[in-house]
Amino acid sequence: MKKISALLCAFMLLTICSTKAQTEAEMKAWENYMTPGDMHKMLAEAAGDWNEEITMWMDPAAPPTKSTATSKIEMIMGGRYQAARTTGDMMGMPFEGMSLLGYDNTTKLFTSTWVDNFGTGTLTMVGSWDAPTKSIILKGKMVDPMTGKDVLTKQIMKFIDKDTQEMEMYDTKNGKETKTMSVKSTRKK
């Protein structure tokens, strides 16, 4: 009986210690996951008001269209996500769009979503930091309203300096990648 009680006590002690160590490891993993880091600080440097020069290529054989917009960028949820709201005129119509950009500490990837009043879909992209070019390179899919099919999309966000950014957008159709948009952003002074 004493042996059974001693074994039972030893088992319970091991279970408690194991559970405590597991709980501490889980808490540490969640703490690392939720704590903004260097990539979040980099995103925060873009907070503020921006002027944008937009160039769009609707047809690679035709001249591009140009327009302007303004964007307000802020960090939300304790510095974990960058939210941007863009307004302007595009193709003779009022334009507004919103993006949410974040960095996942566990996967080491950026995630981006974009919505605007020129559609009813959500563009979602995932990508990584390219240190040599100071760029975030994101890839995803969006729906072509003409065909109803997915189009592969790539976005390159270049951080030129603290007051200058450039975003380039590319679509891949029929195996061919084509530049569709360029947005040059300058911080308002």
| Amino acid occupying residue 127 | G
Give average pLDDT by consecutive 10-residue segment, the chain, 189 residues: 60 61 79 92 97 91 93 98 96 94 97 96 96 97 90 96 97 90 96
Residue 12: the pLDDT is: 57
Residue 86: the pLDDT is: 98
Cα–Cα distance measured from residue 41 to residue 45, given in angstroms and rounded to the nearest whole number:
6
List, in sequence order, every residue forming a beta bridge with 110; answer none if it has no partner: 103, 127
> How far, CA to CA in Å, does 89 sit from each of 23, 97, 115, 145?
53, 11, 16, 21
| Amino acid occupying residue 94 | P
| Amino acid occupying residue 183 | V
The torsion angles phi and psi of 122, rounded to 5 degrees, stand at: -120, 125
DSSP 132: G
Buried b (16+ CB within 10 A) or exposed e, 107-127: eebbbbebebeeeeeebebeb
Strand blocks (E) in the chain: 48-56, 65-76, 81-90, 93-104, 109-116, 123-130, 135-143, 150-161, 164-173, 176-187
The torsion angles phi and psi of 140, rounded to 5 degrees, stand at: -170, -160
Residue with tokens 């996942």: 104
Q: Is residue 59 exposed (0-12), middle (13-18) or buried (19+ Cβ within 10 Å)? A: exposed
Buried b (16+ CB within 10 A) or exposed e, 83-102: bbebebebeeeebebebbbb
Residue 169: the pLDDT is: 97
Residue 32: the pLDDT is: 86
Residue 3: the pLDDT is: 64
Residue 5: the pLDDT is: 63
Report angle CA 52, 55, 56 to the nearest 5 degrees. Answer: 130
